Structure 1
Amino acid sequence: MISRDQSLAAQVHLTKAGYDPGLIDGIWGPRSLAAWCGYVAGRPLGALGPLLGAAMAGDFRRFSITTPLRMSHFLAQAAHETGGFRYFVELGSGDGPDPDPWDDYLQRYDYRRSLGNNAGGDGERFRGRGIFQLTGKANYVAYGARLGIDLVGQPERAAEPELAVLIACLFWADHGLNSLADQDDLEAITRRINGGLNGLASRRACLDRAKAIWGAGHGHVA
């Protein structure tokens, strides 16, 4: 858990950096989380910030992402994967070749069995969405069933901030990432999310920024 002193120090840091965590009261809640998301992204998030903060406040407790180090690793990966919380939908389309190099990018995944795609247009329909890029019909079926939501019929819902946070936390828990965060193992976490080490320098920069608000206390796992 986060001590009151850690929370106070983090809230002061965010305030000095120009990000509003609400009351400086030592309570690490939605406002503080929203400000922290903006701080790690390096830009104000506007109306998106409170949506992310509220979702994280609940889901972090539910999935025990509750220490500075665990939260810092989650936010670092989230900020990288979404381009600083700009993109919750994979770029590209499946409309066919034209001068836009992204235009037919997703068509290659239309019949990708490893993703559960089995029809024309599935590559685009079940493109990566959310924080950790939920991709492929099989994953939309599986996570939709767990959430009680028809993500196959409404795949765009996976990009909604509240659901994006919940799906990302489920993925985090499914892949045992809390224990790797406790070990401060950025590379192992990156491999489980990305399948490799793509964007490692950016992820490390995001992690350094996420940790900065905690000072010397970021590594405490209480």
Structure 2
Amino acid sequence: MNIASLQDVLAASLRGEPAALSRLFDIIDRNRDGKMTAEELQAAITLPAHAQSISQLIIYKESEWYHQPQKWDALDELLGHSGSTPHLNWLAEKQRIKQISWWSEVAEKVGLPVYGKVFHFHPVGLVGHFSSQKAYCFTLGMMKKIYSKSSSSMFPRMQKIINELNEHIELYKLDTDLRRAHFWAQVTHETGVNISIEESFIYSKQGLIGTFGYFGRHPDKATVFGYADSARKTINAAGEKITSIDHEEIANRAYGGLLGNGDYFTGDGWKYRGRGLKQLTGRSNYNKFNKWHKKHWPNDPIDFVENPNSLLEAKYAVRSAAYFWIDNHLYNIADSGATSNAVDRMTEIINKHTHSYPERRENFEKIWREKWLIQ
């Protein structure tokens, strides 16, 4: 089947499944021109995760063994064949095609449809789809339990996160109950009730001093940028309004010269602030994630160092968290057991000086005890 006919078949057979069709174009049509070329398909199947998705397609299409001479005759003019100027090689090829097309001879005898249309599937891909290893799927119901205080407006974001996770569970090393529980214990703390995938810079004066070394050394600046009263979080200790410009100031002062960032004046602190499910922070971490992403998705040309806000898109938010999880071998810590010690060791790698160790332990204990991520 050629690429053009594959597009038609996909569009027709998935007309009632726009999400599935969109996902296929995401995988194959990397330049987003609405067409799938042979080169794009070949590139897609070089990646195991994408090859797996494509191998699970079931396509309803006329069999190549069902011979219809008019379809081949339609190529005569293109190949330079006519009654007055016969193309002998093309005539021989059409005869060969007719001889090896067996469908019409056997269809009625063995119960095949005489019109030649059947379902085509990849046998190994189909079997793999039903294997026990691929049986696990994150569900919206699971996420609703974990984020029980979230409003229904968060459900679409939850679903996008779920879709990305389910697409690459093995690659992301989230293939055991214990790993999933540890992963979400950390992610739920990083994202909070509203599943925020962007770092907030709303801090009290004491919060700034206790969280960032810069403000610990310059408490007078914490008075300027931190709120004094939790009931009025937009007003600082001097009674002045705290604005988004102040949030940028906090980031540039807190992260300037750290995590691969340039100094305060470069603006790197704000540019490479925390984003994604794990709040990836700092130019060096964005750069490492960029390299990791290109390795696994070479046909996705996005540059996260140049376009850091891309991590605010759900699938990249997930991938950035998965990168950190894999790159720091957090899954190995998860494998060590359902213990507070394992949670603390993981937290130390994610944010060593955080005050949130107890909350993260509590997250894990609740997820594990209630079996929220076990099917």
Larger C-alpha radius of gyration, 1 or 2?
A: 2
Computed over aligned residues only, the root mean square deviation of the Cα atoms, in angstroms, reads 2.7
Offset from partner CA, 1:7-57 (integer Å, 9 cap, x none) = xxxxxxxxxxxxxxxxxxx94324x2x322221121353101111111111
Cα 1:79/1:85, change in 2 over 3 Å: farther
User: What residue in structure 2 maps to residue 169 of structure 1?
Assistant: 322
Structure 1: how far apart are the matches of 2:270 and 2:354? 25
- Residue from 211, 217, 241 that aligns with 1:99: 241
Aligned length, in residue pairs? 188
131-140 or 116-125: which moved more? 116-125
Instruction: Specify the code of the residue in structure 2 equivalent to 1:28.
Output: Y
Shift of 1:109: 4.4
Whether 2:293 is the aligned partner of 1:158: answer no
Question: Is the CA contact (8 Å cut-off) linking 1:110 and 1:121 kept in structure 2?
Answer: no
Cα 1:35/1:76, change in 2 over 3 Å: same
Instruction: Specify the code of the residue in structure 1 equivalent to 2:241.
Output: P
Question: Is the CA contact (8 Å cut-off) linking 1:59 and 1:169 kept in structure 2?
Answer: no
- Residue from 143, 154, 161 that aligns with 1:37: 143
User: Which SS does the other structure have where 1:133 is aligned?
Assistant: coil
Question: Is the CA contact (8 Å cut-off) linking 2:261 and 2:268 kept in structure 1?
Answer: no
Cα 1:197/1:27, change in 2 over 3 Å: same
Q: Higher relative contact order at CA 8 Å, sep ≥6: structure 1 or structure 2?
A: 1
Question: Is the CA contact (8 Å cut-off) linking 1:107 and 1:123 kept in structure 2?
Answer: yes
User: What residue in structure 1 maps to residue 167 of structure 2?
Assistant: 58
Identical-pair percentage: 24
User: What residue in structure 1 maps to residue 187 of structure 2?
Assistant: 78
Cα 1:111/1:178, change in 2 over 3 Å: closer
Cα 1:85/1:209, change in 2 over 3 Å: farther
Offset from partner CA, 1:162-216 (integer Å, 9 cap, x none) = 111111111111111112112231111111111245212221222123213438x
Q: TM-score, normalised by structure 1?
A: 0.74
Cα 1:179/1:207, change in 2 over 3 Å: same
User: What residue in structure 1 maps to residue 269 of structure 2?
Assistant: 123
User: What residue in structure 2 maps to residue 209 of structure 1?
Assistant: 366
Divergent runs of 4+, >6 A:
none
Whether 2:153 is the aligned partner of 1:47: answer no
Question: Is the CA contact (8 Å cut-off) linking 1:79 and 1:85 kept in structure 2?
Answer: no
Structure 1: how far apart are the matches of 2:156 and 2:286? 27
Cα 1:74/1:171, change in 2 over 3 Å: same
Shift of 1:144: 1.6
Whether 2:327 is the aligned partner of 1:181: answer no
User: What residue in structure 1 maps to residue 352 of structure 2?
Assistant: 195
Instruction: Specify the code of the residue in structure 1 equivalent to 2:165.
Output: M
Structure 1: how far apart are the matches of 2:355 and 2:144? 23
User: What residue in structure 2 maps to residue 87 of structure 1?
Assistant: 196
Structure 1: how far apart are the matches of 2:256 and 2:182? 34
Q: Which runs of 5+ in 2 are unaligned?
A: 1-133, 203-223, 226-239, 295-301
Structure 1: how far apart are the matches of 2:321 and 2:259? 20
Structure 2: how far apart are the matches of 1:80 and 1:146? 24
Structure 1: how far apart are the matches of 2:333 and 2:242? 40
